[in-house]
Amino acid sequence: MKEKFARWHILLLQYFKRDWKKIFIWILALGLFSAGFIPAFEEMAKGDGLIGMYETLRNPAMVSIVGPTPIKEASKYTLGAMYSHEMLLFSGLFAMIISILHVIGHTRKEEDLGLTELVRSFQVGRQANSLAVIVETIFINLILALFIGVIMISFSADGITTLGAFLFGFAIAIAGIIGAAIGILMAQIMPISSAATGSSLGIMGLLYLIRGGTDISNIKLSMLNPLGWVYLTYPFTENNWLTIIFGLIFSLVIMILALSLEGRRDMGAGYLPERQGRANAKKTLLSIPGLFIKLNKGTIISWLIAFPVLGAAYGAIYGDMETFLESNEMMKQMFTYSGISIEESFTSTIIMVMVLLVAILPIAIVNKLFSEERNLNLSQIHGTKVRRSQLYWTNIFLAGLVSIIGLGLAVGGLGGAALSVMKSTTMNIVDFLVAGYNLLPSILFFIGLAGLVLGWIPNLRKILYIYLSYSFFVNYFAGILNLPKIVINTSPISWLPKMPIESFKFKNFAIITIVSIGLTLLGYWGYKRRDMVEGA
């Protein structure tokens, strides 16, 4: 027994040395994300903010997304209650994802790459690596818990108690530890590392969806869900440490199970056989469009599911919109314009958010062509009678097509949900769709920029996302920060009217569309004549 794990502690020290930069960033970034928004929430809580938030988040659609609160009446909803209600589940999910990736990356993935064989040829036990990685991950999560607790306390905000702050931290840590346990288990069962990662994240997603249902229907059932143990701690309100104990026991059992499975399997093998793929390609794959649709399929489908869901989540707010906006001066400035019905002005802002969200997908598709190029995946294709124009335009068209579909789904989801929760309104679904497609040229503009970058400066393709985030910031906060017109106009969204509060302007629509097409042509010109970047 002992020799299986021989010298694991030496590996552990080795791993701390190897990973310290990653660990530092992990704890800092996740810690700040989890604990750092307290000042923003204090701002939101001012005036009737807490009551408004309470009403909004009590909506079942919101509960299924962010989780429940034990508070039964608005007056008892404190800053701490609101903070853990909104932030705990998501922070826990992030902690879980990072731990899963870390554990599988350093166990199964290294094994698949043949690195483990190298380590084993030194004098360490067969399973020393797995044990060391598990202990490392647990340790990182515990430090994270303390770090989160300390940051939260440091704001010395009203209602953020010391006990609650550390419980909040440990709840996030337990999410990470459960993630590590699931990861190490899947690493044994699955035939290869990518399948282990996929299935671990899949299990997490499934637990999330199930708890979304049980939180609304019967919260006792969420107590049976490992993900439930994270937020059912209810920091700052009930301060329930019991579920942390559940989580620890659960993780321990799973980890022991995983290690014993590992002891009985061959290196590089899993318990589930590798699924046999196709020996021959389907007809639909056998062309450049077929290939790129296939390569982007996963991304496209997940976003096309996410768009209407996110749209509906925003749409669900319409029911409590009045309370929500009345409650807080900041929100009010952001979303309302004088003399316009509240749902129309709210819609114009939300649609802008939706459009920028939808723009992520086409940018990702255009950028994908470059990562394929740089990964050398296209080398052999360059030796066939495929023209560069085919590669370029296939991806530009695919990006345009998913933008049109995605925008419809997002705005449709928003409008559908909004109309179903509003008691009386003058708006109908067509108003939502028209307001959405009114902004389509701004997405096309982002595609044009993406093409331009692909053709001329592909190494800088990340700036597209920076510009997208910047546009979001400018348009979202234009109202509160009183940004000057010249700054507001640096975002392509600003070049189009705010529907439904302003009316459609054909000239703007046409000009931006034509400019965008011009940009893609310019990008093509560069793409056609530049060196393909291969591996450099």
Partner 1 sequence: MSKLVKIQGLEKSFGKVQALKNVSFDVGPGEVVGFIGPNGAGKSTTIRILLGIIKRDAGSAEIFGKDVWRDSFEIHKRISYVPGDVSLWGSLTGGEIIDLFMKLHGSGNREKRDYLIERFELDPRKKSKGYSKGNRQKVGLIAALAVESDLYIFDEPTSGLDPLMEQVFQEEVEKIKKEDKSILLSSHILSEVERLADRVVIIRQGEIVESGNLDELRHLTRSRVVLETEGDVSKMLEVNGVHDFIQRENQGIFSADHEHLNDILIEASRLKVKKFEVAPPTLEDLFMRHYQG
Using CB under 8 A, list all residues that contact partner 1: 192, 194, 274, 276-282, 285-288, 291, 294-295, 375-377, 379-387, 529-532, 534-536
**Min CB(465)–partner 1 separation in Å:** 24
Nearer to partner 1, 279 or 486 (CB): 279
Are 378 and 532 spatial neighbours (Cβ–Cβ below 8 Å)?
yes
Distance of CA 500 to the CA centre of its chain: 29
Nearer to partner 1, 278 or 423 (CB): 278
Tokens read off for 40: 């923003």
Nearer to partner 1, 279 or 430 (CB): 279
Amino acid identity for residue 216 in this structure: I
**Min CB(374)–partner 1 separation in Å:** 10
Which 8-state DSSP code applies to residue 531?
P
Are 365 and 371 spatial neighbours (Cβ–Cβ below 8 Å)?
no
Burial letters for 38-77: b for 16+ Cβ neighbours within 10 Å, e otherwise? beebbebbeebbbbbbbbbbbbebbbbbbbbbebeebeeb
Nearer to partner 1, 408 or 526 (CB): 526
What SS3 class is residue 533? coil
**Min CB(535)–partner 1 separation in Å:** 7
Nearer to partner 1, 365 or 512 (CB): 365
User: How far is Cα 34 from Cα 412, in angstroms, rounded to an integer?
Assistant: 32
Tokens read off for 493: 């969204």
**Min CB(120)–partner 1 separation in Å:** 19
Q: For residue 58, what are the CA distances in angstroms to 16, 86, 221, 276?
A: 43, 11, 19, 47
Nearer to partner 1, 41 or 527 (CB): 527
**Min CB(520)–partner 1 separation in Å:** 21
Nearer to partner 1, 162 or 379 (CB): 379
User: How far is Cα 295 from Cα 282, in angstroms, rounded to an integer?
Assistant: 14
Nearer to partner 1, 55 or 373 (CB): 373
**Min CB(253)–partner 1 separation in Å:** 31
**Min CB(483)–partner 1 separation in Å:** 41
Nearer to partner 1, 46 or 382 (CB): 382
**Min CB(112)–partner 1 separation in Å:** 8
Other CB atoms within a 10 A radius of the CB of residue 10 amount to: 14
Amino acid identity for residue 166 in this structure: F
What SS3 class is residue 387? coil
**Min CB(383)–partner 1 separation in Å:** 3
User: How far is Cα 164 from Cα 161, in angstroms, rounded to an integer?
Assistant: 5
Half-sphere exposure of 354 (CA within 13 A, CB side): 38
**Min CB(183)–partner 1 separation in Å:** 18
**Min CB(533)–partner 1 separation in Å:** 9
Other CB atoms within a 10 A radius of the CB of residue 34 amount to: 26
Residues 6+ apart with CB under 8 A from 499: 348, 351, 434, 435, 438, 439
User: How far is Cα 411 from Cα 424, in angstroms, rounded to an integer?
Assistant: 20
> Phi/psi of residue 496, each to 5°?
-115, 150
> Phi/psi of residue 51, each to 5°?
-65, -45
**Min CB(297)–partner 1 separation in Å:** 9
Nearer to partner 1, 17 or 385 (CB): 385
Nearer to partner 1, 277 or 339 (CB): 277
Nearer to partner 1, 333 or 390 (CB): 390
Kindly give the residue spans of alpha helices, DSSP state H, lying in 155-272.
162-189, 193-217, 219-222, 228-231, 242-263
What SS3 class is residue 281? coil
Which 8-state DSSP code applies to residue 257?
H
